[in-house]
Copies of this chain bind each other. A is one copy, B any other.
Amino acid sequence: YKIACLPGDGIGPEVTDSVIEVLNAVAEKFQQSFEMSKYLIGGCAIDATGEPLPQETIDACNSADAVFLGAIGGPKWDDPNAKVRPEQGLLKLRSELGVFSNIRPLTVFPKLLDASPLKPELLKDVDFVVVRELTGGIYFGAKNRGEDFATDECRYSIQEVERITKVACEMAMQRRKILTSVDKANVLETSRLWRDVVSRYVAENYPEITLEHQLVDSCAMKLIQNPSHFDVILTENMFGDILSDEASVLAGSMGLLASSSLGQGVGLFEPIHGSAPDIAGQGIANPYASILSAAMMLRWLNLTKEADAVENAVQQAIANDVLTRDLDATSSVTTKDATLAVIEYL
């Protein structure tokens, strides 16, 4: 398997190295072969080439079986008015690869209940997936800046809503078959389209699924008040950005949360945490979210037993208190320690 590795900025390179080490261990144990090469994206790409996503990286991703991304951005490239910015690289990568569905599973590790801001009784049985539309909406609509105003257009087509609904439905069918579609249909025209299309598509193709619609403001409350209610949450790009980050606090740390971005072609896998410039280069970043993202990648490549083995190894490492600083403030476990623990439990 050819894996394009895009370390990016901040702690990105450190956690990408962990993934490479773990995948090498998986290859050895399971007689697989992973060809992993590194390519530039984000701030480091701007510094080296002037562009946040060089053509060489796009080509490498397109000819790979899967892409692993560390993280992008940092204070050095933080000016939102700069012509060239790291995020443009990520947005362009998503659109070049056509990965229209971003999938973020949310489970709470019992060991980490203490780290969550929520009362533990609310976290029992929390187990849901956010399915976010990733290549449409206000992120990719026309933008305009006049002398004294600015505009962004949010646009969705029926086909864009249908294909992401299908992804969410397939996921729900493997789970509790409860689909919560989130919109702002009492205000937005795109949300009214969204709600119509989702309702019709689910009724026609997945009659076994229980579909509910929630307004985004109300969903932002229920995620905290009653998180165990949810099974699959389906939403558009901007709402998904906000709600999936909000949901991540339930787990106690972003350091455990993996994501995949899928379309027709190659899949993109990344931890949901950012580049964490404050701890970059110190060797103390939590690599578990990245390793779990690599496990999602293995599963997507149909390497099921390999994926299971990696997930189990991470679970064992956590159960045995191999916790980086974000999970246990008193700990001195390094990125390297945590990576080696996972490899050992493998």
- A binding-site residues for B, Cβ under 8 Å: 73, 80-81, 85, 87, 91, 117-119, 122, 138-139, 141, 143-145, 148-159, 184-193, 195-196, 216-218, 220-221, 224-225, 238-239, 241-246, 248-249
Contacts and interface: CB of A to CB of B under 8 A. Distances in A.
B148 A159 contact: yes
How many chain copies does the complex carry?
2
B196 A81 contact: yes
B154 A152 contact: yes
A161 to B, nearest CB: 9
Given A80-B195, A224-B249, A150 B118 contact: no
A187 B155 contact: no
B192 A217 contact: no
Given A87-B186, A153-B151, A191 B80 contact: yes
Contacts of A122: 117
B195 A221 contact: no
A117 B250 CA distance: 11
Contacts of A187: 87, 91, 138-139
Nearest to A248: B221
A149 B138 contact: no
27 contacts: A73-B186, A80-B185, A80-B186, A80-B191, A80-B195, A117-B224, A119-B119, A138-B138, A138-B188, A139-B187, A141-B151, A145-B189, A148-B157, A148-B158, A149-B156, A150-B156, A150-B192, A151-B153, A152-B189, A152-B190, A153-B153, A154-B154, A216-B241, A220-B243, A220-B245, A221-B246, A242-B242
A85 to B, nearest CB: 7
A76 to B, nearest CB: 14
Majority-rule SS of A interface residues: helix
Contacts of A248: 221
Given A118-B119, A139-B187, A189-B143, A224 B245 contact: no
Query: A80, A149, A192: which has the most chain B beta carbons within 10 Å?
Result: A80
B119 A193 contact: no
A92 to B, nearest CB: 12
A217 B242 contact: yes
A81 B192 contact: yes
Contacts of A149: 155-158, 193
A133 to B, nearest CB: 14
Nearest to A216: B242
A192 to B, nearest CB: 5
A242 B220 contact: yes
Contact of A249 (B81, B191, B225): B225
Given A149-B155, A149-B156, A224-B246, 12 more contacts: A80-B185, A87-B186, A91-B187, A118-B119, A141-B151, A145-B193, A148-B159, A149-B193, A217-B242, A217-B244, A220-B246, A221-B246
A152 B153 contact: yes
Contact of A150 (B143, B189, B239): B189
Contacts of A216: 241-242
